[in-house]
Amino acid sequence: MKRQENPIRISGVSLIMVLMILCLTVFAVLSLITARSEWKLAEKSVGFTKSYYEAEARSEARMAELSSVLEGQDAEGGFSALGEEYETQMTDGRLNIIFSESVTENVRLESRLTFDGGLSLESRRLVRESGNSPEENPPLWTGKDDNP
């Protein structure tokens, strides 16, 4: 009896080549997924940065408006000249003014100014409207169902 020969032979080199192609395909797919997520993150960052600088420009415009309103007045006169849209308080003969501009839905840019014959910017900071403050943290699950 003659031995039947298998027409398809898979040698060790062919098997290694198939495994290499499979590995390279998996790495290519993973690289594309990573690149896509990085692109989305970059777009989100660009959007926030643009909104931040627009809010900062609005804040600078309000400071210029305040400067013209308060020009030639002392701190007490400035206190009475400002309307309800600004949070104001007098401390040590200086007028402290606080206002904010919206950056995003949950973030605002808060500006703190001091007026003592001249207007100066004390601080500017981002404030989150809601979310991760210690008072607003959601209750942690203790491992037991609260519902009987």
Euclidean distance between CA atoms 52 and 44, whole angstroms: 12
DSSP 74: -
pLDDT along the chain (148 residues), means of 10: 66 89 97 96 94 94 86 67 75 85 90 86 87 55 64
Q: How many angstroms separate the CA atoms of 111 and 121, rounded?
A: 7
- pLDDT for 87 equals 82
> Which residues, in sequence order, are CB contacts of 55 under 8 Å at separation 6+?
101, 102, 103, 108, 109
pLDDT of residue 56: 94
Whether the pTM exceeds 0.85: the reply is no
Cβ–Cβ < 8 Å for 112, 97: yes
